[in-house]
Structure 1
């Protein structure tokens, strides 16, 4: 790689004429009137370049670019960070293309404001192979070796990155100051880093140059209302959910985690956050927060502070609060609720309103975790003398200053570069859906669309940021059976959340989980806590944190497991999870815990957390013969109704195609009853011992994601999740680039 990038500055003279100044090692400075701009490039060590200007007269800088030569031709992968926290971001082939909204009818994109969340309105969109783009930073990888490139000062302007496979280069283009620069005013336009090493080392170097560090916070475990109820929530519904959530969570060891019960959208209209729906929440939102705290959990709440819906009082009563384009039209940022519009975060009244909302929610209502969404709305277009990067930094600082010191914030729908160092948690993926990848027409809805498959790859792709920039928020996992997932897909999702993130959250009715679901959750929680401890996440004091007493025994006594399946739903919800868990302990294989890290000799463990492959890539791996599971679940005796691609040895794309062509068989029917007798538990343990005996010498312990099932439960849910280092290496060698084009 050429360690001497080339630079170019686009600027305007007072009369409006456009100029471009070029700077390189071969030709120090050239271009029309280049001396008037007076560009200086300062090299700092081996990997940092500072680009300064000191103009001779007043002028405007449009952008500053750096062209960096990289070996795209021989690279194994190219990663370009997506603009929004919901923009797809994972390693791709350098020969891939980004479809974005290409192929989506313009009137559809306009009507639904599909181009609002991403960079469609300001970054060049080129769907050709080898012309990918991203924002802020990226890297190329060849085996273990990583070359990371990025711009280190996003608060002074956001940077788009464009790949050019034909020239073997990437171009980083940073927006210039919106204001006019005065004569003799020395301004740094660009701070470029190009550094090599492992992914862990290069990301750490980048964060250091940014002057950013992760804000201390505990990993989150708990519940959010959105992905089951969506906006159809009320106080009785959430109080019922709270009983089940508290029952499950408080039966677990909760050291070093923050147990959360979060209320999502539906309690008020967007923009009218301090006016809850009185029919749904007659006692107000503070009463619910009090109930959550009394249950031993931390109450959380969802707010989109920089937007309002068209049906809100804010939209009707404060038209001057709305951000407007050059034609004076309100800037639309979403299509929900009759249309969603951006507020002008530079308006003094808007800023005071945001402070008031967050102050009331935290200090008066008592919520201890704020999930703040739709934050990209603050940076829709430059205005008030600020570019988008400056506007975004200013708006996020406003949020930080509006809450009591130490209040944890979870940013969502935010430019990732701006979020670093300003929040405890940050979403790293798109929203998951109630199916795997949506319907075919939904795949034309842009890079931020709802897709569980994309979310899974985003969690993997951005895993290098977790615990370095913030704790990663991966959305939610599902253990319930009324979603159109195969069992393999559900397990891959919860495993990714447990192994690579800082939040293990669901929207399931946790009180309705059966023993098997509770076992999977316990394994995931144990893994989640251990992995976060290994990554150095330490316990911190959180304002309003509730001391959780798990020493007392639950009041409700567990009944015989044979009677459990015959109870009505209400009685099942009231059953003590702790007692059920205790009764099931003999069914869990202690010697093959999911928490054991699988060593991967010869692979770059900094590229991706390799134990994750044992979970999220299980669908694409065929179990080796020598590691076959007990005869009852072997390939020859498998139930005819299969939903797990592991048993069939499908590739990841084949498994995905199968899930698109037909719903998971278990979704349509009731789950099979689980045989919980002691005899069956002992038999399962014996089978585990037999499987252990067949493991050849030198083969590492496998990673098992859930306890074994009996024959009856196995119908339709083939539970074979065994991975060895060789399997993981094979999975890593397979490149999955669904939705892109190859040259």
Structure 2
């Protein structure tokens, strides 16, 4: 893969746009290529404003091949594609001008055009073409110079690796590409990739527990938290962490302003109660965001990232809209460091779930690419958190490698199994249990190699009973088969296993199901084959038997047989 490639650079000198593979008047190129690693370094002779760089080669796609597309960030759909399929960016009304302001925020639609044609796919940081058991892999060793976009054109039998360098002007040597190409079996290519990257595998094997979000969303209270905490005594020996999600703070961005009506004892007391049970205390933040009506947004507009029109850029549609904090502003950095210090060291939380992290790099600026901004944001967050645990979410995965302990690798699971109608009219990052299942299976390559995979939650609670105490909670719309499927996929392919159910409502069978999901199974020699129409076939070995598991991710119907 990527042999006999052609290199091309799109750039500007002053007001003149140029396209060239080499130009002795403007730049030279240094190339290192040992057959596995390919490193291309630009040596400019004058200031060059970079636009795009690419390396292109011919690749013969077999009729029955599978092309893996790694989506832009945690939530973006990521799976193998078949010949004849189409990678759809913004479908339907999502492309309308009035809708694009909102549908494009969390994805790559500001970086990459979607041709919406059959056999045209693109993904980020790493990808592969699989022919049976052979995997032809290409992966970037660094996204710090810019995002690496891997394009597969099955119509013209070509593969193009692009570097998003928009917004960067260089006058000194600059690494455009640092990639590896490997042809081997699935597990071997990923073992080699992360070894070449120098990533240390996580020491933890599994993180089991609870999060408040998928039962009460932001309607949580101290009473609910304490009740559900007590209920976990029934499975206490299997629980590692108890996490408080959105809803404890008065506004996103005002993290130290706790809602005293909902949490009268404060968050230090909540963390203490969790510790008394022997669990790690986790808490959710969107540390790079500020809700429009937050105190921080109103009193420090100079801390907000602004667009070309001088107005703050919208980075989230939730909470009535939120802006991105500019971590290149020293006062803003000090503010962020301070709230992390209080949350981790004064309140005593052990783990932070950091969400909507893509916000750091929505816009290339200050002579930095999207990739550089995202990598520097992850560096800063790790510095703030120190040696405590980070669960990343809503983050481009490449920049998170080596910076987070755990990471969401799929979309939010929906409280109804069937996709809501608007899923087909929005974007590839929308909440969807079907997408969560796909990503959990097809991003399994990351689990235990760079971090623990967080597949998002599973559910066992009843669909019709009201929660104990009468608190308003979201009604679950799953069949028993769908619940069991989601839980087993999470348990088999993920290592961060959370539920939001109130275990106080569980009967004996539900307790057994929860404990079974938390338990690690000895399943080996695992493969996943996407066969089309949202159906995947999983094959694995367990207890000396070879099992084939066919899963319909649209309906939840699934069956196993010994082979």
Q: TM (normalized to structure 2)? A: 0.91
Paired position in structure 1 for 2:440: 459
Paired position in structure 2 for 1:476: 457
Paired position in structure 2 for 1:413: 394
Deviation at 1:722, TM superposition (A): 6.5
Structure 1 runs not aligned, ≥5 long: 23-28, 529-594, 621-650, 659-720, 727-743
Pair 1:349 & 2:310 matched: no
Pair 1:199 & 2:181 matched: no
Q: 1:6 to 1:205 in 2, by over 3 A?
A: farther
Paired position in structure 2 for 1:524: 517
Matches within 5 A, 1:562-577: none
Confirm or deny: 8 A CA contact 1:601 1:725 kept in the other structure.
no
Paired position in structure 1 for 2:407: 426
Deviation at 1:218, TM superposition (A): 4.6
SS in structure 2 of the partner of residue 161 of structure 1: strand
Paired position in structure 2 for 1:20: 19
Pair 1:50 & 2:31 matched: no
Confirm or deny: 8 A CA contact 1:220 1:259 kept in the other structure.
yes
Deviation at 1:180, TM superposition (A): 2.8
Confirm or deny: 8 A CA contact 1:87 1:429 kept in the other structure.
yes
Deviation at 1:354, TM superposition (A): 1.1
Structure 1 segments of 4 or more deviating over 6 A? 598-604, 612-617
Match of 1:149 among 107, 126, 138: 138
Q: TM (normalized to structure 1)? A: 0.69
Distance 1:599 1:177 in 2: 42
Paired position in structure 2 for 1:710: none
Paired position in structure 2 for 1:443: 424
- Name the Cα RMSD after superposition: 2.6
Distance 1:76 1:181 in 2: 40
Paired position in structure 1 for 2:504: 511
Pair 1:241 & 2:228 matched: yes
Paired position in structure 2 for 1:394: 376
Distance 1:350 1:378 in 2: 13
* Greater fraction of residues in strand: 2
Distance 1:2 1:508 in 2: 49
Residues 438-484 of structure 1: per-residue CA shift (max 9 Å, x gap): 22233222111111111011100100110111110111000112221
Match of 1:40 among 25, 30, 36: 30
SS in structure 2 of the partner of residue 53 of structure 1: strand
Paired position in structure 2 for 1:98: 87
Paired position in structure 2 for 1:491: 484
Paired position in structure 1 for 2:472: none
Distance 2:5 2:562 in 1: 39
Match of 1:597 among 523, 534, 539: 523
SS in structure 2 of the partner of residue 50 of structure 1: strand
Distance 1:442 1:240 in 2: 34
Q: Larger Cα Rg: Structure 1 or Structure 2?
A: 1
Distance 2:41 2:526 in 1: 45
Residues 564-615 of structure 1: per-residue CA shift (max 9 Å, x gap): xxxxxxxxxxxxxxxxxxxxxxxxxxxxxxx3537789999xx997349999
Matches within 5 A, 1:253-652: 254=238, 259-268=240-249, 269-404=251-386, 406-482=387-463, 483-526=476-519, 528=520, 595=521, 597=523, 610-611=539-540, 620=551
Deviation at 1:108, TM superposition (A): 5.3
Distance 2:422 2:528 in 1: 41
Confirm or deny: 8 A CA contact 1:495 1:615 kept in the other structure.
no
Distance 1:237 1:616 in 2: 41
Match of 1:85 among 74, 77, 81: 74
Residues 268-321 of structure 1: per-residue CA shift (max 9 Å, x gap): 110000101111111211110011111221110000000011121111111111
SS in structure 2 of the partner of residue 154 of structure 1: coil
Confirm or deny: 8 A CA contact 1:217 1:408 kept in the other structure.
no
SS in structure 1 of the partner of residue 130 of structure 2: strand
Distance 1:334 1:481 in 2: 32
Greater Cα offset, 233-242 or 438-447: 438-447
Confirm or deny: 8 A CA contact 1:12 1:19 kept in the other structure.
yes
Deviation at 1:82, TM superposition (A): 0.5
Paired position in structure 1 for 2:174: 187
SS in structure 2 of the partner of residue 361 of structure 1: helix
Q: 1:508 to 1:615 in 2, by over 3 A?
A: farther
Paired position in structure 1 for 2:473: none
Distance 2:148 2:422 in 1: 31
Match of 1:167 among 156, 159, 167: 156
Distance 2:320 2:526 in 1: 51
Structure 2 runs not aligned, ≥5 long: 464-475, 531-535
Match of 2:204 among 186, 195, 217: 217
SS in structure 1 of the partner of residue 81 of structure 2: coil
Distance 2:546 2:373 in 1: 40
Distance 1:618 1:230 in 2: 33
Paired position in structure 1 for 2:7: 7
Deviation at 1:507, TM superposition (A): 0.2
Residues 346-373 of structure 1: per-residue CA shift (max 9 Å, x gap): 1111111111111110000010110000
